[in-house]
Amino acid sequence: MHPPEMRARARALRARGHNIRSVARSLSLPYTTVWHWCVDRPEPAMLGSAVRCFRCRPDPENPPDPAAYAYLLGLYLGDGHLVTTDRVPVLRVYCADAWPHLIDLCDEAMRSVLANKVQRIQKRGCVAVQSTARHWPCLFPQHGPGKKHQRPIVLADWQREILTANAGHFLRGLFHSDGTRFANRVTVRGKQYVYPRYMFSNRSADIMALCQWALDLLGIAWRMNSRWSLSVARREAVAALDRHVGPKT
């Protein structure tokens, strides 16, 4: 199955006057596929501002709110799921009941990136924040069958460009989903010390590597304390991460 943005590009080229064969050749698609999209089941070409999906325009663009996109991508990689088997794709992020403000932030990010409508479905101990839109797969090419840690998670070039400029927002999404900030207590020579510490846990080596990459971009020191767990514990590193992430509420 071809992604929705490929169909949109084919129809846009056809609307500009290109014949079926030239469209098929330029997009490296079978002639019959393009004919089916443009002749058998034509749809109005979606051009310019008429397309909310910034990737489906004839000349793909970056999101209008790159910070919101970086944050939402972090949430998706942590606690999100994209269902593409339904008639219309559904993006769903699970947020614990203990963090009501996080639920609001997820809702706002979905609306800023693409969603016209966001639903909140109460589950046991959490809320599924979800939105249906045919273009979610265009914006999250990391989707696929099975669990994330059982398949490669690789950024597209355009995503890496966005995250490089918005690493803090991306980390915020990662830590708001699969991370925590807590008071670490240690005892040295009978005296107890308490200091704040961040932990991030994810069983996907690729997602863990993305977290490490974003921390390195911001110059924040980290270390692995297990195969699936990362720690930010130095005082200056915690202070730096506080400026980008902050506590869940």
Q: Residue 226's pLDDT band (boundaries 50, 70, 90)?
A: very high
What pLDDT is recorded for position 26? 85
Q: Are residues 147 and 71 in the same domain?
A: yes
Residue 102 lies in a domain: yes
Statement: residue 45 has pLDDT above 70: no
- Across the range 8-34, mean pLDDT stands at 83
What pLDDT is recorded for position 47? 38
What pLDDT is recorded for position 234? 93
Among candidate residues 151, 186, 203, the one where a domain is terminated: 151
Q: Considering its fold, how many domains does the chain have in total?
A: 3
Q: Are residues 44 and 15 in the same domain?
A: yes
Statement: residue 246 has pLDDT above 50: yes
What pLDDT is recorded for position 167? 98
Q: Which residues pair with 185 in a beta bridge?
A: 194
What pLDDT is recorded for position 10? 81
- Across the range 148-167, mean pLDDT stands at 94
What pLDDT is recorded for position 189? 74
Cα torsion angle, 209, 232, 75, 57, sign: negative
Contact 72, 108 (CB under 8 A): no
Statement: residue 41 has pLDDT above 90: no
Residue 163 lies in a domain: no
Residue 57 lies in a domain: no
Among the listed residues 93, 90, 88, 103, the one whose alpha carbon sits nearest the alpha carbon of residue 131 = 90
- Across the range 46-61, mean pLDDT stands at 63
pTM of this structure: 0.78
What pLDDT is recorded for position 191? 78
Q: Are residues 75 and 144 in the same domain?
A: yes
Q: Are residues 26 and 85 in the same domain?
A: no
What pLDDT is recorded for position 55? 82
pLDDT in tens, 90-133: 999 999 998 889 999 999 999 999 998 999 999 999 999 999 99
Q: Are residues 73 and 107 in the same domain?
A: yes
How far, in Å, CA of 221 to CA of 202, rounded?
Answer: 18
How far, in Å, CA of 81 to CA of 143, rounded?
Answer: 8
Q: Residue 48's pLDDT band (boundaries 50, 70, 90)?
A: very low
Q: Residue 46's pLDDT band (boundaries 50, 70, 90)?
A: very low
Residue 158 lies in a domain: no
Residue 164 lies in a domain: no
- Across the range 170-177, mean pLDDT stands at 96
Q: Are residues 135 and 80 in the same domain?
A: yes
What pLDDT is recorded for position 75? 97
Q: Are residues 78 and 147 in the same domain?
A: yes
Contact 124, 97 (CB under 8 A): no
Cα torsion angle, 158, 153, 216, 198, sign: positive
Q: Are residues 42 and 71 in the same domain?
A: no
Residue 187 lies in a domain: yes
DSSP the chain: ---HHHHHHHHHHHHTT--HHHHHHHHT--HHHHHIIIIIS------GGG-S-TTSSSS----SSHHHHHHHHHHHHHHEEEE-SSSS-EEEEEEETT-HHHHHHHHHHHHHHT-S--EEEEETTEEEEEEE-TTHHHH-TT--SS-GGGS-----HHHHHHHHHTHHHHHHHHHHHHEEEEEEEEEETTEEEEEEEEEEE-S-HHHHHHHHHHHHHTT---EEEETTEEEE-SHHHHHHHHHHT----
Residue 132 lies in a domain: yes
Any idea what the CATH number is for the domain that residue 144 is in? 3.10.28.10
Q: Which domain holds residue 200?
A: 173-244
